[in-house]
């Protein structure tokens, strides 16, 4: 499921000057992806999130021949990121050189993630080309079925549905990808807190969720339920109803 979009994410506290430089490099990668396959595309910004300085670009083909190349071009982006992460930077392949240049902005405070609907590659430091020295350690990801709670902030509905969830624990953006024909899951979810269930990809070093793919469930959480206190339980045990305990404490105060 390569999709039609590619995502660049710059984590951590990001300065405006660094963001501007990084996005310029990202634009050069997009231009080369198009040129490398002799395609005719318009790269349209379909998501822009400040929480992780995340930008998603969707490939909009101008002709039928280019439309058939879109999945291949998206695969090229991920394949190039994977090669660069291993230190495989060939001087005669402009795409690898430009992807390496893009990931050069990664450092100990600003982690770079290159992502598609299929997978993501993390960079925490500039890549050293082989065979000069062994490539610097790049963190891996773990993938497992799970649920992440957060607020749905961005919906992008163009030939499929992608949305951004801001995890409540970290207030960081998590990219979410619905499977085909599952758009109904997002009914009334925008702007609300929800539990999103699917294949969760996490940073293996920190455990922080990065993406949720193959989303199977989106459960909106009701906020500010006036009867929520009825579900409260005292930490000391006992059989007195929770509402009676709360009323007694309120009256005594």
CA distance linking residue 178 with residue 117, whole number of Å? 10
Cβ atoms of 149 and 194 closer than 8 Å: yes
CA distance linking residue 199 with residue 214, whole number of Å? 6
**What pLDDT shows up at residue 234?**
45
Cβ atoms of 229 and 246 closer than 8 Å: yes
| 3-class secondary structure, 52 | coil
**What pLDDT shows up at residue 126?**
80
CA distance linking residue 154 with residue 163, whole number of Å? 5
Q: What's the gap between Cα 1 and its chain centre?
A: 16
Q: What's the gap between Cα 97 and its chain centre?
A: 24
The 10 Å Cβ neighbour count of residue 105 is: 19
Name the pTM for this structure: 0.75
CA distance linking residue 17 with residue 53, whole number of Å? 12
**What pLDDT shows up at residue 33?**
97
| Domains of the chain with CATH codes | 5-139 (no CATH), 142-220 (2.40.50.140)
3: left (phi over 0), alpha (psi -120 to 50) or beta: left
Q: Which two tokens stand for residue 224?
A: 């500010």
CA distance linking residue 25 with residue 4, whole number of Å? 20
**What pLDDT shows up at residue 58?**
94
The DSSP call for residue 200 is: E
Low-confidence spans in the chain with pLDDT less than 70 = 1-2, 51, 90-91, 130-139, 154-160, 224-253
Of 133, 186, 193, 205, nearest in space to 167 by CA: 193
């Amino acid at each position: 499921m390569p999709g039609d979009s590619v995502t660049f994410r710059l984590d951590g506290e990001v300065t405006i000057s660094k963001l501007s430089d990084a996005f310029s490099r990202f634009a050069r990668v997009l231009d080369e992806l198009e040129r490398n396959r002799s395609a005719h595309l318009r790269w349209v910004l379909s998501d822009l999130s400040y929480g992780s300085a995340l930008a998603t670009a969707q490939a909009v083909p101008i002709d039928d021949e280019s439309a058939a190349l879109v999945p291949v071009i998206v695969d090229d982006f991920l394949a190039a990121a994977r090669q660069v992460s291993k230190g495989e930077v060939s001087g005669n392949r402009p795409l690898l050189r430009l992807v390496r240049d893009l990931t050069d902005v990664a450092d100990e405070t600003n982690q770079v993630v290159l992502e598609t609907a299929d997978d993501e590659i993390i960079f925490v430091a500039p890549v050293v080309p082989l065979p000069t020295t062994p490539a610097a350690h790049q963190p891996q990801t773990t993938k497992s079925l799970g649920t992440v709670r957060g607020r749905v902030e961005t919906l992008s509905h163009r030939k499929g549905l992608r949305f951004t969830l801001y995890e409540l624990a970290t207030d960081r953006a998590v990219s979410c990808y619905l499977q085909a024909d599952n758009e109904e899951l997002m009914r009334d979810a925008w702007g609300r807190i929800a539990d999103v269930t699917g294949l969760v990809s996490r940073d293996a070093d920190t455990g922080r969720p990065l993406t949720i793919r193959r989303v199977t469930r989106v459960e909106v959480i009701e906020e500010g339920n006036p009867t929520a206190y009825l579900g409260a339980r005292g930490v000391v045990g006992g059989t007195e109803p929770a509402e009676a305990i709360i009323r007694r404490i309120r009256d005594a105060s």
